[in-house]
Amino acid sequence: MKDFKEQIAECFAKVIEISQDELKHMIEIPKDEKMGDYALPCFRFAKMFGKAPGLIAEDLKGKIDFANTDIEKIEIVGAYLNITIKQQALAEDVLKEISAQNENYGKQQIGNGKNVIVEYSSPNIAKPFHIGHLRTTLIGRALYNIYQTLGYKTIGINHLGDYGTQFGKMIEGYKRWGEEYNLEENPIEQLMQIYVRINELCKEDESVLEASRENFKKLEEGDEYCTNLWQKFRDLSLKEFYRIYDLLDIHFDSLNGEAFYADKTDEVIEILEKTGKLVESEGARIIDLEEQNMSPCMICKSNGSTIYATRDLAAILYRARTYDFDKCLYVVAYEQNLHFKQIFEVAKLLGIPEKCQKGLEHISYGMVHLKSGKMSTREGNVIKVEELLQEAISRVRTIMEEKNPELTEEEKDNIAKKVGIGAVIYNDLAGSRIKDEIFDWDTILNFNGETGPYIQYTYVRTNSVLKKVNDLPELSNVNTKLLLDEQSYKVLKLLYSYPEVIRNAADKNEPSIISRFLIDLSKAFSSFYNENKIMVDEQDVQDARIYLTYMVNLVLKNGASLLGINMPEKM
Ligand code: ARG
């Protein structure tokens, strides 16, 4: 694909003593279309030249030679040089590229040979999968897809919360009353009940607490009875989690959770001991982080047992060795900001390769608020994610019943699932991830708003257009001059930007960049569609418009799939 930014940078590098690469990074895309396709701000040259930025802009414009490039014109607006690309060049490039790559348009090789771990979802065994876990699940899956499409080898890990002293209590509770509960039907709710009950008893009766501690110790030592029970709790919980994962079509490459690292913490302690930085403090062993302005990171409790952080350190060591990662992204809510800062600091002492050390990154995200309290809740604010997803599906099912009664039941079910789930996914990924999210049924299911259903609806429209022709026109028959009206060209520019949009999303670990793009493309297509009749008598006009529709169809589907949104063929 032609890289217009590169062409611009190359021209400027000949008249200014700044590297082409640096110049390329300085080039911006103006918000206002009238300001050209690209802009080079001259503020940063003021010091270098000892001149006002506006004058520098004039100077540069006088010197620059852009004959033999795809630059149409360069204009000065204040301290900016606004650059416009030849429309014809852009149009031809987009068509050539997409016709060669089809559904692979957007795929890149920049990540070849590099490994990226995305750790996401990571719910806790025997505890509810809450709405925060839904966000990590969706953000993480999107990042996984985005890196994969850029050519990185991606490893998706669900770091299950399947370890801790509470399992000693669970075992004790199950031992006493297991028969009273039906774990098969609603395992997590049942296990929670057992847990609450045994906790009460532990408070009343010291010997029960002692027995629970003993169970945990046995579990650590691999005792068969305790391990089997733990395995049962884990399996049952996973079975419930997979009802949600299946609805969302979520997959993991590894389910190695905290328990997997329990026997790998000794090595962490040994390594830390050797650095001389592991110190005693009130009976516990800690790494002091005062120099880094943080509270200390505890490694061993006073009774000698390790904690959450220790297992995370063991995981870093293991992952560095096993996956030789270039990046390890932790998609976890912002409540754990301090935890990750601490363990990343301590990880510097583990002797892992520098690239791994630098590749550790906490991808934090905001909370979800409900607009109305109407959603099914239990225990106050815990929303049952599975119910939420089912409700989204059933609401769309009702809408389909009204809108498209002619569809078969099977078709309605199928659409309801894709659109209902798509709406929830889109809503979760629409805003920048660090912002808190508002959940409101009316907003997320609005077919005309900035929503998942709107993108899907636009896609379905492109489908119906394409169904009207038997064959796609040959590329050689498409006259790109017929696509230079305002609406068509806007669509072309967006299509051109798609590969860069994916790279930006990876750079910032921000799926919302893709969400924004999909809305922009949908809106641009809608204006194109409203302004231009597609099926017309002039064959060449029709061919060009059909081809544009085809490209939008491909890119909408491809972009949505990065977010995990499936497209219905009808709607
Ligand atoms: N299980 C934790 C929770 O639900 C999240 C785990 C995050 N990952 C990690 N490596 N610490 O809050």
- In this prediction, residue 372 carries a pLDDT of 61
- In this prediction, residue 379 carries a pLDDT of 44
Q: Are the C-beta atoms of 138 and 562 separated by less than 8 Å? A: no
Which residue's CA is the closest to the ligand 1 atom numbered 4?
123
pTM of the model: 0.95
Q: Is residue 535 part of a domain?
A: no
Tokens at 185, concatenated: 């039907």
Q: Is residue 203 part of a domain?
A: no
Which residue's CA is the closest to the ligand 1 atom numbered 3?
123
Ligand 1 atom closest to 308 (CA): 11
Q: Is residue 69 part of a domain?
A: yes
Q: Are the C-beta atoms of 338 and 371 separated by less than 8 Å? A: no
- In this prediction, residue 281 carries a pLDDT of 94
- The finding on whether 173 has its CB within 6 A of some atom of ligand 1 is no
- Where the chain has pLDDT below 70, the residues are 372-382
- In this prediction, residue 381 carries a pLDDT of 52
- CATH number of the domain to which 78 belongs: 3.30.1360.70
Q: Domain range for residue 74?
A: 4-85
Integer Cα distance of 477 and 471 in angstroms: 12
Please give the DSSP secondary-structure letter assigned to residue 567.
P
Q: Half-sphere exposure (CA, 13 Å, Cβ side) for 401?
A: 7
Q: Is residue 494 part of a domain?
A: no
* 507-548 residue pLDDT tens: 999 999 999 999 999 999 999 999 999 999 999 999 999 999
Q: Is residue 49 part of a domain?
A: yes
Which residue's CA is the closest to the ligand 1 atom numbered 12?
123
What's the number of domains the chain is made of?
1
The dihedral region occupied by 349, where left means phi > 0, alpha psi between -120 and 50, and beta the remainder, is alpha
**Ligand 1 centroid to residue 140 C-alpha, Å:** 13
Q: Is residue 534 part of a domain?
A: no
Q: Is residue 59 part of a domain?
A: yes
Beta bridge pairs of residue 254? 157
Q: Is residue 300 part of a domain?
A: no
Integer Cα distance of 483 and 493 in angstroms: 11
Tokens at 552, concatenated: 């939008």
**Ligand 1 centroid to residue 308 C-alpha, Å:** 9
- The finding on whether 122 has its CB within 6 A of some atom of ligand 1 is yes
